[in-house]
Amino acid sequence: MKTETEIKELLSRALTNDRQALAEILNEYGPKMFYETRLFFYDRKAAKEVEQNALRAAFSKLREAADADNVDEWFSDFVEKEALKNILPVDDPGEQYDDYTETDELVTAYSDVPEGREECMAEILKVLDALPADERTAAVLHFYKHLSVYETAAKMGISAGGVRTLLTSAKARIHQSGEDLGTFISAIDEIHPDSTPPSESTLKIESFVQNPEEAQPTIMVSGLQEVAEAGQTKPFAEKEEEKEKPVFKEPEPADVYDDYDEDDDEDDINKLGVFLKIFFTVLILGALACGAYYWFYIRTGTEDVGTMPVVTETETPEATPEVTETPEPTPTPTPEVTEEPDDGTIGTLTVIVNQLNVRSGPGTNYRIVKTASSGEEYDVYDVSEDGTYTWYQIDEDQWVADANGGMVTYVEK
């Protein structure tokens, strides 16, 4: 464990291109930043990617760390910003009740405080891994980061009532899973208290490592591969065996509360209208095709009706058939070649964040239909602005958001 003074000395040496000092700083904060990233993400692969991006951003501004009041919090801020960049925007559920209280967020006599720092860290991850993404984000900011409801709302870009809804749903889910909220909060207070003197705020690196005999390669950051030592111990958050994440669908608010949502009815009506439009369009096209076939292939003479003899009756008793001249068949007109219709796209975009919510409309009040991954490309059919985000339509009832080019890159036709 290194004190704040020792960290400051390492930073001073690192700013003079001391490779040993850079390696020590990397190995000091790599495991800590990975654990804080795991607080936001269940998937370890996603957490590792976000942690590496946060490390690169922090080391690119290492000179600012020397002037920070608390270096641990300075590194932690990079994790929080990078994590929220991959999580936002989220759906605002709104305030669905008026009985929210923080009185049950206190440690009570029934709370079972875990013994040891590693046990506390394991308890925190165990509780958070049982929560869906939106509730998990609110719980990390409010309980672990010690932000108020209004500060949490500002970070997530939703209303304070929406944060109260997410926190109450999270507390109910924790209780239903058999966990104790007081035990969860007491574990947080053990490793991340609300206020600590700067000299004691540094987290102990020993609490993040596994058996010293089990080593793993040092975390590599672009530009620092040569200075990272090869014998770094394995962080605590990697201690558990890898297992497949159970398929988990984030419940709509109706899973916890009985809240009728008229938007669902409106979506059903819109879907019916789209179906009827497609049905009648296909019906009209089929009728036109049949008419064209009749006109061009039957009526215009493909059966050569002019070769049939025409018999006329005469006034004489003996009827003599008269054969009329065979008219030349009418040539079949060649259908005109029409230009290929415009596909309606106005540009293309590429997703540049790990996970980006795809919603059914241009706003965070629309439901999430799926998520897009980094590197995926889509055609853009429409663009909408709401003052906070720029929304791009990538398919029917599918929109993605962007803020200042930080989530997608857009190329106009």
- Mapped onto helix, strand or coil, the DSSP state of residue 255 is helix
- State how far the Cα of 153 lies from the Cα of 139, in Å rounded to an integer: 12
Q: Between the CA of residue 315 and those of 27, 98, 321, what are the distances in Å?
A: 119, 104, 12
User: What pLDDT is stored for residue 212 in this prediction?
Assistant: 38
Contact 231, 23 (CB under 8 A): no
Bridge-based pairing of strands 390-395 and 382-385 is antiparallel
pLDDT at residue number 395 = 93
DSSP conformation letters of 287-310? HHHHHHHIIIIIITSTT-GGGS--
Q: What is the pLDDT of residue 210?
A: 36
Single-letter amino acid code for the residue at 266? E
What are the helix and strand counts (H, E) for the chain?
11, 8
State residue 294's pLDDT score. 72
* C-alpha pair distances (Å), 174 with each of 138, 185, 288: 14, 12, 61
pLDDT, residue 320, reads 54
CA dist., res. 37 & res. 75, Å (int): 11
Task: Say how far apart CA 403 and CA 383 lie, in whole Å.
Answer: 13
Burial class (CB within 10 angstroms; exposed 0-12, middle 13-18, buried 19+) of 55: buried
The answer to whether 401 and 357 have CB atoms below 8 angstroms apart is: yes
347-412: CATH topology is SH3 type barrels. (2.30.30)
Instruction: Beginning with the edge strand found earlier in the chain, give each strand of the sheet holding 408-412 in spatial order.
Output: 377-380, 347-351, 408-412
Instruction: Give CA separation, 237 vs 29, 45, 150, 160, in Å.
Output: 13, 12, 30, 31
CA-CA distance, 74 to 139, in Å (whole number)? 21
Nearest residue to 40 via CA among 127, 121, 136, 143: 136
Report which DSSP code applies to 355. Answer: E
Q: What is the pTM of this model?
A: 0.51
Contact indicator for 33, 75 with CB cutoff of 8 Å: yes
d(CA 296, CA 307): 19
What sign for the dihedral angle of Cα 269, 274, 276, 277? positive
Domain-wise residue ranges, the chain:
4-255, 262-307, 347-412
Average pLDDT across each block of 10 residues of the chain; the chain has 413 residues. List them in order.
82 87 88 93 94 92 86 91 93 79 66 83 93 94 93 94 92 88 87 60 34 40 44 43 47 41 54 79 86 69 45 50 59 56 84 92 92 93 91 94 90 90
The conformational region for residue 322 under phi > 0 = left, psi -120 to 50 = alpha, else beta, is beta
Per-residue burial over 284-293, b if 16 or more Cβ lie within 10 Å, else e, is eeeeeeeeee
Nearest CA to 139 out of 196, 177, 113, 98 is that of 177
Kindly report the CA angle at 164 between 161 and 170, in degrees rounded to 5? 145
Strand spans (E) along 198-281? none
Tokens of 198: 């700067």
Contact by Cβ (8 Å): 235, 31:
yes
Structure tokens at 40: 């936001």
Q: Which DSSP string do the residues of 46-59 spell out, in sequence order?
A: HHHHHHHHHHHHHH
Taken in order 24, 64, 144, 403, is the CA torsion positive or negative?
A: negative
Cα separations in angstroms, 226 against 22, 55, 116, 222, 312: 10, 16, 35, 10, 106
For 130, list phi and psi in degrees, rounded to 5. Answer: -90, 0
